Structure 1
């Protein structure tokens, strides 16, 4: 083992030893939700749906071309907060996510890591910008529901509460009676890191490629892993 690898293992051990509660982002650390059902296409369909109703002007050019369904959804909510339009659009996104869940690709080592962490006494929760209905459907398909239930905190129609707002993290901590310092957030985006910092929860970055790792490090993440395997090894050790 190199000194660099030993140092990374020590950092992981330091994070896991303190973590009585583990808050997981969903799309990324647990699975690739849109592995078989492109998020780009979903965003495009939401934009087309708006344009088909004469609402082209609701989005800026950058928002239309973002290829991120959450950017489209938030943009409409900023201009028409709490409206029926937002509710319909959010439900359309939820249906697309439910469709995607059936072809989602499990993140390598996520399932055994979740089961192992639960077995050694940690309590687990989901804190995500995806619909909780989608999370529950996916967890049920993998036999993981009991590892998290009832602590699944996802998107509501109060879209200003989406990460980077720490709302879903705080909901999880409050429901579980956990101090932020006794928790750990696992996320794969700068918005996950920002929410964790705001909630005062230690953060572990998961990045499936170097581009995502670079974004996390540039945002200030101190510990970033490209695989969950070393984390599983630390827990089993």
Structure 2
């Protein structure tokens, strides 16, 4: 929603001070499960738990979820630090690695990443997905050099997943970035919450109106349905910082 001059000016004001850009992965950079359906992955994780005799570990709603992260978080809450959680997390990581091969690039993300790097910004990934999956995808797109080594994703400490700001703090610390000089781009309320907790300005990305409404309901002040306006602003000659 950046079609009018007022929205474009707000966007300019948001990105102009940003010397460090923290990207959520699945959404702003690509649709990770575009060709490897997330709901099938969630069902597979549930079936694996059932084969371990752990059907009762999940609620009925959790067993029906379309989101594999919901399954992983649920087990993580009930069996924190266990071998079970480690095994489930690795199964999800392997599914994400497979998904990376058929992920759909977000429109304008590739040139935006390259342009932001070219004008001097430093970039990081801050994601709830496996950093191995993010690296695999970025390598296939020739974008890994724009981020490496700053890929901060899911670890065995599931309580550190967003909305906890752990991955954001890791990125800021490694980059030597003051929060006010950074910008986080995310597509979920959990991204917004993590950015707020870390004191980092936030730009919402929504690939459709439903996702935009959800972000705005969570309190996001500026949301775009396309990354094209950002690319246009960067290419207009705006200096970084």
TM-score by length of 2: 0.96
What does 1:37-116 align with in structure 2 at a 5 Å threshold? 37-116=36-115
For 1:185 and 1:66, the matched residues in 2 are separated by 27
* Runs of 4+ residues over 2 Å off in structure 1: none
For 1:233 and 1:38, the matched residues in 2 are separated by 32
1:25 equivalent in structure 2: 24
The residue matched to 2:125 in structure 1 has which SS?
strand
1:15 equivalent in structure 2: 14
1:141 equivalent in structure 2: 140
The residue matched to 2:113 in structure 1 has which SS?
helix
**RMSD of the alignment, in Å?**
0.9
The residue matched to 2:16 in structure 1 has which SS?
helix
Is 1:208 matched up with 2:226? Answer: no
For 2:10 and 2:39, the matched residues in 1 are separated by 35
For 1:4 and 1:103, the matched residues in 2 are separated by 31
The residue matched to 2:129 in structure 1 has which SS?
coil
Structure 1, unaligned stretches of length 5 or more?
none
TM-score by length of 1: 0.98
The residue matched to 2:4 in structure 1 has which SS?
helix
For 1:193 and 1:215, the matched residues in 2 are separated by 11
The residue matched to 1:34 in structure 2 has which SS?
coil
Structure 2, unaligned stretches of length 5 or more?
237-241
Q: CA deviation at 1:4?
A: 6.2
Count of aligned pairs between the two proteins: 235
The residue matched to 1:18 in structure 2 has which SS?
coil
The residue matched to 2:11 in structure 1 has which SS?
helix
2:180 equivalent in structure 1: 181
